[in-house]
Amino acid sequence: MKTCIVGAGAIGGFIGTRLAAAGRAQVTALARGQTLQALRTEGWRLQTAAGLLHAPAQAEDDAARLGPQDLVILAVKAPALASLAPQLAPLIGPQTLVLPAMNGVPWWFCQGLPGWEQAPLRSVDPQGNIARALPLAQVLGCVVHASASSVQPGLVQHRMGQGLIVGECGGGSSARAQAVADLLAHAGFDASVSADIRRDIWFKLWGNMTMNPVSALTGATADRVLADPLVRAFNSAAMLEAASVGARIGCPIGQTPEERHAVTARLGAFKTSMLQDVEAGRGIELDALVGAVQEIAARLQQPTPFIDALLGLTRLFGQVRGLYPATTAAAQSGNIAG
């Protein structure tokens, strides 16, 4: 299976190295800058508890030099996808599958829901560029339950988790989703197929949408966020709002905030991906994690004061540090960020 990894950072490098080393897929990468050079000179590299996993790599910065693929795995940061998506056309043939292994709510999440018609989520796809470039009929949903970080360009450190959930955006089972899951399982992932991938996406988001921005705002590791009773209560209140929104769009949460906090606490003193981005001076994935939830709630005319506060505070924090784009006064005063 011809497979292209778009964005060979932490998660892209994690998946790409495993697939390349397993040998069942012909793996290439669309990358740029130092990561591109590192892949060309050093190949795929993944540091694991068992040692360094290595495989040769073919990497390009122009999709036209790679041509149509069987599978395109998107592992870029969510804010980058709107401008990148139109450049991926040479990779996508009539049978190509697109698998976004990304954080937060994807652009297609509300398509097909009553009342949404084909309108994109403005928070994650402001101009509809992603929806136009990536045919929904060829997209599979994906949830990543793993933690990895880029030690240096082209070298990824795996920290915990091996889980990848794949599913049809519209729900149900399919041979093509199973084939992708089988490919990932052969490469050593705990891969499974979900009959309701939207619910799986919302469930992961439910825990990440508070811990990520709060840790970024405070600079605190997850254990310290949970140890402060006032901050913990704030997170719980925002999570209850998100659970209520989820219940109205067919994504109910079968867990209490305290039960999720207990799961998170067992992971110890870790830095969230958003905190890592802040410390590295990278843009933050605020819209996919929080803005999209607030947008959906606004569309449902459901008040979300805690989510609103979280979005506003983190947005301003990011703007002051140049990690989130400036917005117009009208957008800032309205219900939709961006």
Report the catalytic residues.
204
Ranges of H-type helices in 108-256: 129-133, 175-186, 197-218, 222-227, 229-248
- 3-state SS assignment for residue 202: helix
- 3-state SS assignment for residue 250: coil
Question: In degrees, to the nearest 5, what angle opens at C-alpha 92 toward C-alphas 187 and 41?
Answer: 55
Q: Are 46 and 18 in contact (CB under 8 A)?
A: yes
Q: Are 178 and 14 in contact (CB under 8 A)?
A: no
Report how far apart the first and last C-alpha atoms of the chain are (Å, whole number). 38
* Residue with token string 């067992």: 266
Work out whether the CA dihedral 191, 195, 201, 206 comes out positive or negative: negative
The residues near 61 (Cβ < 8 Å, ≥ 6 apart) are: 30, 31, 32, 36
